[in-house]
Amino acid sequence: MSFETLPQIGMGTFRLQGNDARDAVKSALSLGYRHIDTAQMYGNEAEVGDGITSSGIPRREIFVTTKIWHTHLQPDDLIHSLHDSLARLKTDHVDLTLIHWPSPGDEVPMEDYLGALRNAQREGLTEHIGLSNFTCDQMDRARDILGNSPILTNQVEVHPFLANRKVVGHAQQLGMQVTGYMPLAVGRVMEDETLQRIAAERNASPAQIALAWVVSRGIVPIPSSTRPQHQKANLDALKIRLTAEEIAAIDALDRGERLANPSFAPVWD
């Protein structure tokens, strides 16, 4: 199976380690997820690979994403690190490779690492290429550098308390899909009164309402969960169609609350 676009929802694995990561991936796949997101920095690619291989689901039916950490952006290092990722994941290719963060302070020129990423794609190490945590200006630069090579996605933080509208809108305008990480704001959506109210009216959970809102914006959420019942509830959120009034109420929760903001992050839009 060749995936032209990202599956509608993914299973995020940030902070999942050891058996938790292995079992969560296997469980998610058994429930119907077909998109698994990991990264070199998560330190769990081997366990994610175990979960995939032990799931019994053919590899060709699973969309696997990994991300190159910013210490591996020198071209030779990028290719070498991706080979290492594939070995840990027990696969000969991934479906999508992202630059996890733009090079801090442009220490490695974008032309160098995006050129190396395109070479990895040409070598068959990755089906698609993309970005993560890139600003509007950085997306424009990436588009100029890569020319006709499609950039599948920009993966950025998105949840009701950080709508990230400028970046989301710009990515979509450039023809990139947006992947939203931390869509549940690390559980904070469960405590919000607006989300609780809408959830109660719909016999759903606040987490499901938050995911439905992310999806209503054309964004692919990648929630992380180790519990099968939560994984299933997250999948079921795709069936919820929010009204214009509900969307407006959730839109009003945006307070620019950024949870992923390391010292090497770019200057955000």
| Of the candidates 83, 142, 84, 153, the residue with the CA atom closest to the CA atom of residue 111 | 142
How many of the other CB atoms lie within 10 Å of CB of 197? 14
Q: In what order do the strands lie in the sheet with 126-132?
A: 11-12, 35-37, 63-68, 94-99, 126-132, 153-157, 177-181, 219-221
Determine contact, residues 175/197, Cβ cutoff 8 Å: no
DSSP code, position 101: S
CA atoms of 21 and 127, how far apart (whole Å)? 24
Catalytic-role residue among 33, 42, 113, 181? 42
CA atoms of 190 and 27, how far apart (whole Å)? 23
CA atoms of 245 and 230, how far apart (whole Å)? 26
| Of the candidates 164, 167, 109, 158, the residue with the CA atom closest to the CA atom of residue 136 | 167
Is 33 an annotated catalytic residue?
Answer: no
Burial of 20 by CB count in 10 Å (0-12 exposed, 13-18 middle, 19+ buried)? middle
Q: Is 100 annotated as a binding residue?
A: yes
Please give the positions annotated as active site: 42
Return binding residues for substrate: 100
Return binding residues: 100
